[in-house]
Amino acid sequence: MSRTLSDIGEFGLIDRIHKLIEEEGTQTPGITLSIGDDTAAIRPRQGYELLITCDCLVEGRHYLPDLIHPIDLGRRAMVVNISDIGAMGGLPLYTLVSLGLREDILIEDIESMYRGFLTELSPFGASIIGGNITESKANFIDITLLGEIEEGKLMLRSSAEEGDAILITGFPGQAIAGLELLKNSQSAHDMKDHPLVKAYNTPEHRAREGHSIALSGSARAMIDTSDGLLADLGHICKESDVGAELIQEKLPLSNTLRQAASELNRNPYDLILGDSDDYELILTCAPDNIEKIKSIIKGVSEIPVTEIGRITEARDRIQLICPDGQKRPVTPRGWDHFKK
């Protein structure tokens, strides 16, 4: 019979998770104390800065349990955080996982989630060094991730300059299209291999790409698209005190997304620009560096890089240049959780 959390209790669960991590996880250098005491302890490497981020997925808000398998949920929760480390140019090292769990949650589902975390951490030699488990009326996964970056190589969102080219990796908008397809379908299971549904359930991060770009020193500003392309470009504009022009025809639109937009009766450019859980990178660079950046990314992965516009002096204003040549002001409409 499947056992639930209330059958084995918090300490019982912690023992099992501890064992799973020891057996299936990797050992990261620099850890002097891992899970099992009041805190974890590390000795950071000299010559590196330590990056720290946290991000939380709440059931019903950031995921629907019927639409995602626990292992994919674990992967996604970790990717969201790895993406933040990558957007600074760093690589992940250590993580603490804090879970709020309903007492009726199945132990095997919790273990699957941890396998999802490890699936994303292990390729970097990164590991789980601590965490917390508590009962909650709604399940949530709150992850703190630490990473490192060579001193002086930090990539900021506040350093874009007028005249910079704006580049984007991959195909933003795929995840939101996948989610909408899932919601419209009769069976989540039948849809699980659809490329857009996969883009939503197990998004990819661009941490290796981000790290290579940071080391090269050839980009000016960088951010991930966790709030959506426009909203995150908006963050760059606000923090860098600049504006931006995007050329609609240059926005990367895959055939898969075009077809899905038509099925969903949506404008595909709304999908690309709006809120979507894709975790691509937006970066800005001197126009002379565009080809260099493309070739750096080519050295790391097969993900396409597209030039989609320019940074302007028009403070905090983003304009879309339409196919007819008209400039249309657009507002960052990323995910602002609460505002009505």
Distance CA 303, CA 301 (A): 5
Show the site string, 77-116: x = touches its own copies by CB under 8 A, - = not: -------xx-xx-x---x-x-x-xx-x-------------
Burial of 266 (0-12, 13-18, 19+ CB in 10 A): middle
Give the nearest distance from C-beta 322 to its own copies in angstroms: 27
Give the nearest distance from C-beta 48 to its own copies in angstroms: 8
Whichever of 267 and 331 has its CB closer to its own copies, that residue is 331
Structure tokens that stand for 204 in this block: 């990819």
Using the rule CB under 8 A, give the single segment among 110-118, 212-220, 223-231, 291-299 that binds its own copies: 223-231
Distance CA 330, CA 58 (A): 29
- Count interface residues toward its own copies (CB under 8 A): 75
- For 122, the 3-state DSSP assignment is helix
Contacts of its own copies in 252-291 (CB under 8 A): none
CA dihedral for 49, 120, 71, 64, sign (positive or negative): positive
Q: Is 42 in the site for its own copies (CB under 8 A)?
A: yes
Member of 66, 137, 193, 255 binding its own copies (CB under 8 A):
137
Using the rule CB under 8 A, give the single segment among 4-12, 163-171, 180-188, 268-276 that binds its own copies: 4-12
Distance CA 172, CA 232 (A): 12
Distance CA 175, CA 181 (A): 10
Whichever of 221 and 244 has its CB closer to its own copies, that residue is 221
Distance CA 10, CA 198 (A): 33
The torsion region of residue 164 among left (phi > 0), alpha (psi -120 to 50) and beta comes to beta
Q: Is 173 in the site for its own copies (CB under 8 A)?
A: no
Q: Is 32 in the site for its own copies (CB under 8 A)?
A: yes
Whichever of 240 and 248 has its CB closer to its own copies, that residue is 240
